[in-house]
Amino acid sequence: MRRKDEIRSALLLILLVIIWGITFSLEKMILSRISPFSLNISRFFVADVIMLILFFPTIKKDFVRVWKEGTILGLLISFGYIFQTWGLVYTTPAKSGFITSLYVVLIPFVAIFVERISIRLSTIFALLIATAGIYLSNLSGEIFSPNYGDLLTLGCAIAFAFQVVSTTVLTKRLKNKHITLTFYQMMFVTITNIPFYFLSPHHDNWDFKIVAMIAVIAIFASVFGVLIQMKHQKNVGTIPSAFIYAGEPIVAAVFSMILMGERFSTTQLIGFSLIVGAAIFSQLVHPPKKSRV
């Protein structure tokens, strides 16, 4: 039964990656009309409302009980979105995508200290392959010259890495509290983005299409997506989940090609292949064992 649960959870995380990958193309369309902080606030406010409508009794019952864990996850995911959005002001979307995706590489090293697990050399090798793949798929082999925006975006990658690792630890500790932990994260992102909205320039051009796309992202990527992560990541494990999440840039690229007509170079296709190869290779080796320390 446990093995079946792991397989089911892994399949749901793959579905989550597909949802998140599709979201990239929708966000590109939305950001051509409204500011990044407007997107963050509206997206997660809609998610807050949906969560309260669907799960108010559960949230009310557990809200105080999980406030510490909810605050930790809420702050981490908020820092991730704020640094990513802030960094985009000073860097290119390609560099932002590359640096943000590095959270997949950072996850195992964060897990060493937070979960006290050991990492096999084969896992490190797979991470190096994934890093090369992410670089080629996002930057097409261009020389990387970091700037202020890139450093901000690195803060995003670090925050997301800690959020993923903390999710495994805290959801194992608080069984069946995934709904309220999800609500905490939606709520924190909404609240923490408000000051940045007022401090940054914005010339929003709202219409029904924009509102509809934001509602779709809020329902599927925020509410449904984070609920999947909160409930099922702990069954798969932190590092195996990281390699599943590595597929997000590939899904984003496929749907960018379908929805926006984007085309990719041979270098980028090689990068996508390396990411897939790293994910497959990582699943062929034994999962990391917990340290006895």
Above pLDDT 90, what percent of the chain?
A: 41
Which pLDDT does position 290 carry in this prediction?
45
Q: What is the pLDDT of residue 286?
A: 47
Domain assignment present for residue 290? The answer is: no
Whether residue 291 lies inside any domain: the answer is no
Please report whether residue 73 resides in a domain. yes
Residue 289 in domain: no
Q: Give the pLDDT score at 35.
A: 87
Residue 193 lies in a domain: yes
Distance, in Å, from the CA atom of 131 to the CA atom of 81, rounded to the nearest integer, reads 21
Domain count, the chain: 1
Amino acid identity, residue 96? S
Q: Per mean pLDDT, which range of 242-246, 275-279, 289-293 is the poorest?
A: 289-293
Q: 105-153 pLDDT, tens per residue?
A: 888 889 888 888 777 788 788 888 888 888 887 777 666 667 788 889 8
DSSP H helical segments within 63-102, as ranges? 67-88, 93-101
Tell whether the model's pLDDT for residue 250 goes beyond 60.
yes
- Gap between the Cα atoms of 140 and 138, Å rounded: 6
Please determine, for residue 1, whether its predicted confidence score (pLDDT) is greater than 50: no
Vertex 37 angle, CA 80 and 100, to 5°: 30
- Structural domain boundaries enclosing 99: 2-284
HSE on the CB side for 287, CA within 13 Å? Answer: 11
Q: Is the pLDDT of residue 293 over 70?
A: no
Cα separation, 176 vs 161, in Å, equals 23
43 pLDDT band, cuts 50/70/90, is very high
Of the ranges 1-5, 118-122, 123-127, 288-292, which one carries the lowest mean pLDDT score? Answer: 288-292
Of residues 21 and 141, more confidence is placed in 21
Contact between 97 and 274 (Cβ < 8 Å):
no
* 292 within domain boundaries: no
* Residue 144: both structure tokens together: 């990387």
Residue 289: the pLDDT is 44
40, part of any domain: yes
174/268: higher pLDDT:
174
Does the residue 237 lie in any domain? yes
Instruction: Look at the block and give the residue holding tokens 């690229």.
Output: 253
CB 86 within 8 A of CB 152: yes
Taking residues 251-269, report their average pLDDT. 78
Name 290's bridge partners: 117
**pLDDT digits 0-9 by tens, 151-201:** 898 899 999 999 999 999 999 998 889 999 999 999 999 999 999 899 888
